[in-house]
């Protein structure tokens, strides 16, 4: 599993970082950043899916 | 207000956001509109407005900022002789800005409210909550709204702005006149005058005596494309911080306190599983979203079959969107560990509440601190709780005993 954020769609709700703080962070403006480059470890995949399903802007893309 | 309220004939064509029952509990009305064949209601009251109630429609309107502009953001029109804007021609960037200016208006303040930046307010907020609890804990009773919630955001924002905390009661009175009692034209004018004069004096003082680590000084010295930002922008941002940062968060804290007073099982759930706090706060914000904003239609447009005209007001009922069963399972139920929660308590799109990270920190710390010190409490009288509504929804009197 890999994850990315569509920069133009993210408006900094930070709900991804609340759901999966190990996977998502914040830049200086409060917009989402992905902290893990490459594959998301198995133990964080459920949290990552949860982050996706909590983003009001649907800005998170998961590819498997 | 001398107007005699005419009874609502039909919610779909004559809703009244200031009708006392609606103010107290708008959710049954939202639900009735949402589940009718006409989920976007219309009223001719207060010079007319549209009220979308479905999540999908509210979010779509929020995203379409070129059609649904932020020239006016209050749920009622300005009074004769006043312009649109946050209230009466005084802007509140970036909330009242449209692109292209919106971009830099917003970019300049976002760093102040990033999660990293607001973390420094956590300890101060906790100390403040503890001091407020010290005042009431031996009495066995308190007004969770007026003795507790009301004092938290105003002091946090005053600290952030670097303005005197002793003026707390003035700030609160101005904000209430600006946002809560918005049918009172004189009150709105009075609030606007006081806020602008106050911040003009604060700016003048900083021109003479620039301060270190000071939000207003730094904002005054900020340059955009080689030029110092205009003073109107500085005043507008200060105006926004005060007006948007106080009533809203205080309402959210108050609603959460009202909820917790009635739900010992949720108090226990949080006590047993403190890791749940961040998710729980998002769920409480979903269910008790305090804020309804407005948009002004830019050009005639048909939206979901509704013939919207240029200049029409559209109420962004985020509280209604957050309880749409099409988006949220069992939407009226508080499920502290809700799995899927794309709530829009802070809005959606380019005008997403810039202060959301600070607001959720304040709500969390206020609840955590209270529950640590006063784990068991209940409402004194369920029927004796008063609410503000319209633009901002939350309890204004909420007596609890412990």
Note down pLDDT in tens along chain B; length 402 residues. Answer: 445 688 998 999 999 999 999 999 999 999 999 999 999 999 999 999 999 999 999 999 999 999 999 988 888 887 766 655 544 456 788 988 889 989 999 999 999 999 999 999 999 999 999 999 999 999 999 999 999 999 999 999 999 999 999 999 999 999 999 888 888 888 888 998 899 999 999 999 999 999 999 999 999 999 988 999 999 899 999 999 999 999 999 999 999 999 999 999 999 999 999 999 999 999 999 999 999 999 999 999 999 999 999 999 999 999 999 999 999 999 999 999 999 999 999 999 999 999 999 999 999 999 999 999 999 999 999 999 999 999 999 999 999 999
Residues 6+ apart with CB under 8 A from B239: B86, B90, B91, B92, B195, B196, B199
Q: Taking the mean position of all CA atoms in its chain, how far away is CA B48?
A: 22
Number of folded domains that form chain B: 1
Residue with tokens 């502009």: B69
Nearest residue on chain B to A19, judged by CA atoms?
A: B279
User: B45: buried, middle or exposed (CB in 10 Å: 19+, 13-18, 0-12)?
Assistant: middle
The whole-number pLDDT of residue B1 equals 47
Residues B111, A56: C-beta atoms closer than 8 Å: no
Report the residue of chain B nearest A30, measured CA to CA: B114
A34-B349-B102 Cα angle (round to 5): 105
The DSSP string of B140-179 is TEEEIIIIIITHHHHHHHHHHHT--GGGHHHHHHHHHHHH
Enclosing H/E stretch for B325: none
Residues of A with CB under 8 A from a CB of B: 11-15, 17-19, 26-30, 50, 53-58
Token pair listed for B334: 């508080």
Q: Which pLDDT value is given to residue B81?
A: 62
Secondary structure (DSSP) of B104-115: HHHHTTGGGGSH
CATH number for the domain including B37? Answer: 1.10.630.10
**B2 belongs to a structural domain:** no
Residue B275 three-state SS = helix
Q: Give the per-residue pLDDT at B88.
A: 44
**Residue to test with chain A: of B56, B328, B352, most A Cβ within 10 A:** B352
Residue-wise pLDDT tens digits, A3-61: 999 999 999 999 999 999 999 999 999 999 999 999 999 999 999 999 999 999 999 99
Interchain proximity B279–A15, CB inside 8 Å: no
Residue of B nearest to A56 (CA): B342
**Residues shown for chain B:** 402
Whether cis (ω within 30° of 0) applies to the bond prior to B56 is no
B346 neighbourhood in chain A, CB within 8 Å: 13
Give which of A6, A7, A9, A18 to mutate to test B binding, by max B Cβ within 10 Å: A18
Mutation target for B interface from A9, A17, A27, A30: give the one with most B CBs within 10 A: A30
pLDDT number for residue B91: 76
Flag if B352 and A12 touch (Cβ within 8 Å): yes
Distance between CA atoms of B115 and B16, rounded to whole angstroms?
Answer: 38
Could you give the 3-state DSSP secondary structure of residue B230? coil
**Which chain A residues contact residue B276 at CB under 8 A?**
none
Q: What is the pLDDT of residue B83?
A: 58
Rounded CA gap, B327 and B372, in Å? 34
The pLDDT of residue B285 is 98
Is the distance from CB of B133 to CB of B257 less than 8 angstroms?
A: no
Give the pLDDT of residue B150: 97
Chain B residues within 8 angstroms (CB to CB) of chain A? 59, 107, 110-111, 113-116, 278-279, 282, 339-344, 346, 348-350, 352, 356-357
Overall number of domains in chain A: 1
Q: Write the residue in A26, A27, A53 that is nearest to B339 by C-beta.
A: A53
Record: contact B114-A53, CB cut-off 8 A: no
Alpha carbon of A39: minimum distance to chain B alpha carbons (Å):
23
- Helices B122-136 and B151-161 meet at what angle, rounded to 10? 140
Q: What's the angle, vertex CA B352, arms to CA B350 and CA B357, rounded to 5?
A: 135
Which residue of chain A has the CA closest to B117?
A28
| B58, closest residue in chain A (CA to CA) | A56
Tell me, what's the pLDDT at B86?
45
Contact yes or no for B378/B261 (Cβ under 8 A): yes
Contact status, residue A57 vs residue A13, Cβ threshold 8 Å: yes
pLDDT number for residue B92: 84
Q: What is the CATH number of the domain that holds A26?
A: 3.30.70.20
Q: What is the C-alpha to C-alpha distance for residues B399 and B131, in angstroms, rounded to an integer?
A: 19
Interface test with A, best of B341, B351, B360 (most A CBs within 10 A): B341
Burial class (CB in 10 A: 0-12, 13-18, 19+), B250: buried
**pLDDT at res. B372:** 98
3-class SS string, chain A:
CEEEECCCCCCCCCHHHHHCCCCEEECCCCCEEECCCCCCCHHHHHHHHHHHCCCCCCCEEEEC
Number of H helices, E strands in chain B: 16, 14
List, in order, residues 6 or more apart from B236 with CB less than 8 Å away.
B86, B90, B91, B92, B93, B96
Under the phi-then-psi rule, with left for phi > 0, alpha for psi from -120 to 50, and beta for the rest, what region is B335?
beta
Q: Which has the closest alpha carbon to B188: B169, B174, B200?
A: B174
Of B110, B339, B344, the CB nearest to A56: B344
Domain that holds residue A11: 2-63
**Residue-range definition of the domain harbouring residue B259:** 11-401
Q: Which residues of B touch A16 (CB under 8 A)?
A: none
The answer to whether position B366 is within a domain reads: yes
Nearest to A11 among B107, B282, B352 (CB): B352
Helix (H) or strand (E) holding B387: strand B386-388
* Token couple for A48: 């990552």
Handedness of CA B224, B227, B230, B235 (dihedral sign): positive
């Amino acid at each position: 599993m890999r994850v990315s954020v569509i920069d133009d769609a993210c408006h900094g709700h930070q709900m991804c970082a609340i759901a999966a703080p190990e996977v998502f962070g914040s830049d200086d403006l409060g917009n989402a950043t992905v902290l893990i480059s490459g594959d998301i470890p198995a133990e964080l995949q459920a949290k990552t899916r949860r982050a996706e399903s909590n983003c009001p802007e649907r800005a998170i893309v998961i590819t498997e | 207000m001398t107007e005699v309220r005419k009874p609502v004939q039909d919610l779909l064509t004559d809703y009244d956001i200031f009708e006392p029952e609606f103010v107290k509990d708008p959710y049954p009305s939202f639900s009735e509109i949402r589940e009718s064949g006409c989920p976007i209601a219309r009223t001719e009251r207060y010079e007319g407005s549209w009220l979308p109630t479905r999540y999908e429609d509210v979010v779509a309107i929020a995203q379409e900022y070129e059609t649904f502009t932020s020239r006016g953001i209050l749920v009622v029109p300005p009074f004769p002789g006043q312009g649109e804007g946050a209230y009466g021609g005084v802007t509140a960037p970036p909330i009242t800005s449209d692109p292209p200016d919106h971009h830099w208006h917003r970019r300049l303040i976002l760093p102040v409210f990033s999660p990293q930046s607001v973390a420094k307010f956590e300890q101060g907020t906790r100390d403040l909550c503890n001091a407020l609890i010290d005042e009431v804990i031996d009495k066995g009773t308190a007004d969770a709204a007026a003795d507790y919630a009301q004092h938290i955001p105003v002091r946090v924002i005053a600290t952030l702005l670097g303005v005197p905390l002793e003026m707390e009661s003035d700030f609160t009175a101005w904000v209430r006149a600006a946002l809560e009692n918005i049918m009172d034209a004189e009150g709105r004018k009075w609030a606007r005058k006081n806020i602008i004069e106050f911040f003009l004096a604060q700016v003048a003082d900083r021109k003479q005596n620039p301060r270190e680590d000071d939000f207003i000084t730094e904002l005054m010295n900020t340059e955009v494309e080689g030029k110092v930002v205009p003073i109107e922008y500085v005043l507008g941002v200060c105006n926004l911080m005060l007006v948007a940062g106080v009533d809203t968060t205080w309402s959210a804290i108050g609603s959460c306190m009202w909820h917790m007073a009635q739900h010992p099982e949720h108090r226990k759930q949080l006590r047993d599983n403190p890791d749940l706090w961040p998710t729980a706060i998002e769920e409480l914000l979903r269910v008790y979203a305090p804020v309804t904003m407005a948009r002004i239609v830019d050009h005639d447009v048909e939206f979901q079959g509704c013939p919207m005209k240029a200049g029409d007001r559209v109420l962004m009922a985020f509280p209604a969107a957050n309880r749409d069963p099409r988006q949220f399972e069992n939407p009226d139920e508080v499920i502290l560990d809700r799995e899927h929660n794309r709530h829009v308590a802070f809005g959606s799109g380019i005008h997403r509440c810039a202060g959301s990270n600070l607001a959720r920190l304040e709500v969390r710390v206020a609840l955590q601190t209270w529950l640590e010190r006063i784990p068991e409490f209940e409402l004194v009288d369920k029927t004796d709780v008063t609410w503000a509504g319209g633009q901002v929804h939350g309890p204004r009197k909420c007596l609890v005993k412990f």
